[in-house]
Structure 1
Amino acid sequence: MDALTANTFTEHRQYLFALAYRMTGSAADAEDLVQETWLRWQRAGQEEIRVPRAFLTTVITRLAIQHLESARVRREEYVGPWLPEPMVTAEQRDSAELSESLTMAFLVLLESLSPVERAVFLLHEIFDYSHAETALLVGKTETACRQLLSRAKRALRDRKSERRPKYEARPAAAKQLSDALSHAMQGGDLASLMTLLDEQVIVYSDGGGLRRAAINPIRGPERAARFLIGVARKTSDGLNRYATEINAQCGLLGFRKGEVESALVIDTAEGRVRAVYIVVNPEKLRHLPEERNFHDPRIPS
């Protein structure tokens, strides 16, 4: 393979990872899919590749669909709530639509779709492919893709609370709320913490059966506040916390002995915390940076 062909793939690599991560909710799986796409790109004859981006998108989309179909049983048997692998996104500057599609809430919603529905929805609604282009990418007719998209939108509406506001790109206000939440958690201030939480707040905790976590979501301000304070107390000794942006929202990374131990993501709207996502499953944290490579400010314990 010549340098020009290799450079063409490199130019598309970030985009391919972005699509694969939204398809799978896993940074590790997305990297594997990108690598397999690279291998197929190397093996392909030039007569197969008229439009490089279209070829690469077709390959990685179909690989992702196959992956999700084979992973479905594992996810159905998962211990406790399944959450996506958290990603540090502090250096990314995406559009509001791309940012919303990275949030924990959005990725969890996508789990209600079949693999093909998920692909059609993402390609058309997030990456702006036309119905005709989407049909070619997933190997379906245009009519079938329109039906798949309609079903996907209906399924997402059914899962999404009518009172849930649209994603808010207000980093300053969210950061202030995140800081207050962290301070109240570390200080064990139940009353102050409850004032920060929405009446319908939910806390999700993903340990995957490998680390201690809540098997069911924690609902309501008082129960959520007590749970969050309990988490802070149990993990405080020797844990260094850093504030950063995770999945396009405010978050906290916890490090112990230089290795990441937890990721907490805060979903806010209208001046309140409406959801907290906590990932402690070590298999979902391996791709995050080590503490020595982390440059965001540390939060005093």
Structure 2
Amino acid sequence: MAVERFEEHRDLLTGVAYRILGSVTDAEDVVQEAWLRWSGVDVSRVEDDRPYLVKIVTRLAIDRLRRVRARREAYVGPWLPELVVTPDVAEHAELADSVELALLVVLETLSPLERAVFVLREAFGMPYAEIGEMIERSEAATRQLARRGREHVQEGRPRFEVDRGVRRRITERFAEAAVGGDLGALTAMLAEDASLVGDGGGKAKAPLRVITGARKVARFLASIATGDRLRAFMESIGAGPVSGFGVEPGSGFGVEPGSGFGVEIAEVNGGPAVVVTAEGRPVTVLSLVVEDGLITTVFLVANPEKLSHL
């Protein structure tokens, strides 16, 4: 009985933990620890499983976030969240929005308590009084944490809502330009102050600093998509020998015949992303932030640990 009652809420608990931590691996560890605690109590005395379990997971996630913050500060290059596939975006658009890469990056600027309150309130719609009980704060203090969190997020999130269809078409055009190393097309798609944030984590080659400016970002993307630079880049991230990069005729983005290397558009963290694969294994993901028809940020994730759940 205890197992069934816990499993009924596992997806919710993992979702809460992932949004607070930005890491699937850490979220799964937290949920496993929550299970150990749940299995050690007399569950027949628990009146409502959902808030009881969410409270356990929230407190564990806050504690873990406080511990991992130090590791992230010592990370090699920029730190980006671990990626997840979100195939049911259309059916669960609101929850998909709450795992957007751009949002998770902004949530890294919040305190652990602010982040937990923001997630529980904005993503899952929980009442302030219930959240306050979970984090051991008064309702008034919880509302204040929520207000501060919303203000930080509003300052850091994209200013314009972008239709999902438009964003996907821009992502497809971006992929085509990147595949062809088309410097002019890439530059035209980027906002003047566009930036590229790369996460290799010391395990794969990626820029150690943020690249800023449309021309610099375009040049970087064009350079790794052509010739020897592409081959060196792909081999550096474990892709093995690469004989070419292209679009298979008649099938959109796919593996170039004989290369074992391909590109596709997939729903990652609530939005379309360019997924580069080698022998069917994701090796690099590029996710775009689009504002007013132009790309303002390119997130490039190449750290294999961040791609394992794709």
TM-score (normalizing by structure 2): 0.85
1:69 — aligned with what?
66
Cα deviation digits, residues 33-68 of structure 1 (max 9, x gap): 222222222222125521100111001101100100
Q: Whole-Å Cα distance in 2 between the matches of residues 84 and 209 of structure 1?
A: 15
> Structure 1 CA distance, aligned partners of 2:39 and 2:301?
36
Contact 2:89/2:96, CA 8 A, preserved across alignment: no
| Partner residue in 1 for 2:159 | 165
- Describe the SS at the equivalent of 2:8: helix
Out of 129, 146, 151, which is 1:149 matched to? 146
Distance 2:178 2:28 in 1: 35
Deviation (angstroms), 1:100: 2.2
Query: 2:106 & 2:122 partners in 1: Cα distance?
Result: 14
Shift of 1:166: 3.9
Change (3 A) 1:177 1:154: closer
Residue 118 of structure 2 aligns with an amino acid whose one-letter code is F
Is the 1:123–1:134 Cα contact (8 Å) retained in structure 2? yes
Unaligned runs of 5+ in 2: 235-241, 243-258
Q: How far apart, in 1, do the equivalents of 2:29 and 2:43 lie?
A: 24
Q: Secondary structure at the match of 1:214?
A: coil
* TM-aligned CA distance change 1:270 to 1:194, over 3 Å: same
> Against the structure 1 CA distance between its residues 188 and 77, is the aligned structure 2 distance closer, same or farther, given a 3 Å change threshold?
same
Question: Which whole-Å CA distance do the structure 2 matches of 1:71 and 1:115 have between them?
Answer: 11
Letter in 2 for 1:133: E
How far apart in 1 are the matches of 2:161 and 2:40?
A: 41
Q: Secondary structure at the match of 1:278?
A: strand
Q: How many residue pairs get matched?
A: 281
Distance in 1 (CA, whole Å) between partners of 2:45 and 2:57 is 15
CA distance in 2, matches of 1:92, 1:12: 20
* 1:21 aligned partner: 18
Match of 1:36 among 26, 33, 36: 33
- Give the CA deviation at 1:125: 2.1
- Give secondary structure in 1 for the equivalent of 2:174: helix
Percent identity over the alignment?
37
Distance in 1, matches of 2:176 and 2:152, equals 38
One-letter amino acid of the structure 1 residue matched with residue 140 of structure 2: T
Return the alpha-carbon distance in structure 1 between the equivalents of residues 146 and 172 of structure 2.
39
Pair 1:51-2:45 in alignment: no
What residue number does 1:264 align with?
Answer: 286
> Which digits, 9 at most, give the CA deviation of each residue in 1:71-97, with x for residues without a partner?
111011111111001111123445544
Residue aligned with 1:216, SS: coil
- Say which of 105, 118, 121 aligns to 1:108: 105
1:195-242 Cα distance to aligned partner (Å, 9 max, x none): 111223211100111211111111121111111112323246243222
User: Deviations for 1:138-167, whole angstroms, at most 9, x for unmatched residues?
Assistant: 122222212222332333345x27xx3244
The one-letter amino acid of 2:289's match is: D
2:75 is equivalent to residue 78 of structure 1: yes
TM-score where L is the length of structure 1: 0.87
Aligned to 1:283: 305
Indicate which of 189, 205, 209 corresponds to 1:212. 205
**2:211, 2:93 → 1: CA distance?**
29
1:253-298 Cα shifts (integer Å, max 9, x gaps): 222234321111122233222211111111212222xxxxxxxxxx
Moved more, 37-46 or 81-90: 37-46
Q: Structure 1 residue runs of 4+, over 4 Å off?
A: none
- Contact (CA 8 Å) 1:100, 1:167: kept in 2 or not? no
1:196–1:273: 8 Å Cα contact kept in structure 2?
A: yes
Asked if the contact 1:200–1:221 (Cα under 8 Å) also holds between the matched residues in 2, the reply is yes
Alignment of 1:117-136 (within 5 A): 117-136=114-133
Aligned to 1:140: 137
Q: Which moved more, 1:189-198 or 1:261-270?
A: 261-270
Deviation at 1:23, TM superposition (A): 0.6
Range with bigger deviation, 194-203 or 92-101: 92-101
SS of the residue 1:135 aligns to:
helix
